[in-house]
Amino acid sequence: MKDQTVFTELPASRSFETDGCIYVSGQGGLDASTGEIVGPDIETQTIATMENIRAILAESGLDLDSIVKVNVYLSDRGLYQKFNEVYGTFFSAPYPARTTIYCDLNYELLVEIDAFAVRRQG
């Protein structure tokens, strides 16, 4: 079992690896160095969210292609199309499995994504 960097303000890890599976905790449109929201629009926040996930996976020697499942949380149903336009630029077929949920998010974020990645053999 390998525990990645721990969030300083929460009793949670940014990611957790066990048996070749990497679980990335929910990431949002926050600047990784300041913790501030990167911008007021879904496009900017989606890019930052995906880049945060990319950086966390890179710490384990993986990339976005290792993701097999994501859960997407959007603050408003009206953001769905613009979110998909940006999100789709980070992946190619076969796309990860995905669930999208609409809900209130912490820190007034527009999007939050958690991911499940697999360290593939060979």
Please give the DSSP secondary-structure letter assigned to residue 19: T
Helix (H, G, I), strand (E, B) or coil at 16: strand
Query: How much is the pTM?
Result: 0.90
pLDDT tens digits, 86-109: 999 999 999 999 999 999 998 899
Q: Six-digit token pair at 12?
A: 């949670």
Average pLDDT across the chain, whole number: 91
Higher pLDDT, 68 or 122: 68
How far from the centroid of its chain's Cα atoms is residue 50's Cα? 5
Cis omega (within 30 of 0) on the bond before 94? yes
